[in-house]
Structure 1
Amino acid sequence: MYVLMEFKGKQYKAEKGALLKVDRIDAEPGAELDIDSVLLHSGDTVSVGTPYIAGARVQAVVERHGKDRKIIVFKYKPKKDYRRKQGHRQGYSIIKIGDITGV
């Protein structure tokens, strides 16, 4: 059994006990989340929302936070002596899916 859910503008496939890597959220590790934007539920039958399934909820717990590997942004224009180098590390949070209810 799994659900497709929307969280912070992105869609994720979630199963009970799964770990998901999402954009960083402002919550301490151990905090509980209640996500009610469930798009699809697949179990014995498949339920599709319009756009969300009414009453369906996914409970999750924040496990930890971190930063991804560094991405180098390099801008360059030939023959103009223009070079700009910039690095970026995207923050993320790992959440653990607990219970899927209301489906």
Structure 2
Amino acid sequence: MERFAIIETGNRQLIVKENDVIKVQKLDCDKGAEVTLDKVLCLKNGEKAEFGKPHLTGVKVTCESLGDEKQEKVIHFTYRRRKDSRRKVGSRQTLTVLKVKSIG
């Protein structure tokens, strides 16, 4: 049976399994550092599932930081017809890449 957890990080909810590689909003950690995510919403282990209200206590997901990378550029273009006015703005969000080591 598969073991997975639903975690909350960076205002997003992600389903993670052991040895998964996930991308989350930038965390303040070095490459190769161990990161502990403790906002676990759900834990499924075989046939048994546990749900938190809102988070489970005593359950943590341990990850290893693989470094930072940037997302693709998102372009926002504003155009006002007949006004000779246009504005183009682009941004790239920085993400932290994590490898899930253990759930529990």
Is TM (by shorter chain) over 0.5? yes
Asked whether the equivalents of residues 9 and 25 of structure 2 are also in contact (C-alpha less than 8 Å), the reply is no
| Unaligned residue ranges in structure 1 (runs of 5+) | none
Amino acid at match of 2:83: K
1:42: which partner in 2? 44
**In structure 1, C-alpha distance between the alignment counterparts of 2:30 and 2:88, rounded to whole Å:** 33
Amino acid at match of 2:30: E
**In structure 2, C-alpha distance between the alignment counterparts of 1:72 and 1:83, rounded to whole Å:** 13
1:74 lines up with 2:77 in the alignment: yes
**In structure 1, C-alpha distance between the alignment counterparts of 2:10 and 2:95, rounded to whole Å:** 12
Asked whether the equivalents of residues 5 and 16 of structure 2 are also in contact (C-alpha less than 8 Å), the reply is yes
1:4 lines up with 2:20 in the alignment: no
| Unaligned residue ranges in structure 2 (runs of 5+) | none
- The Cα of 1:70 is off from its aligned counterpart by 1.2
1:97 lines up with 2:100 in the alignment: yes
Between Structure 1 and Structure 2, how many residues are aligned? 101
Q: Superposition pairs for residues 10-89 of structure 1, below 5 Å?
A: 10-44=12-46, 45-89=48-92
How high is the TM-score relative to the length of structure 2?
0.92
How high is the TM-score relative to the length of structure 1?
0.93
Cα deviation per residue 1:58-91 (whole Å; 9 max; x = unaligned)? Answer: 1011102111111111111111111001111111
**In structure 1, C-alpha distance between the alignment counterparts of 2:10 and 2:59, rounded to whole Å:** 17
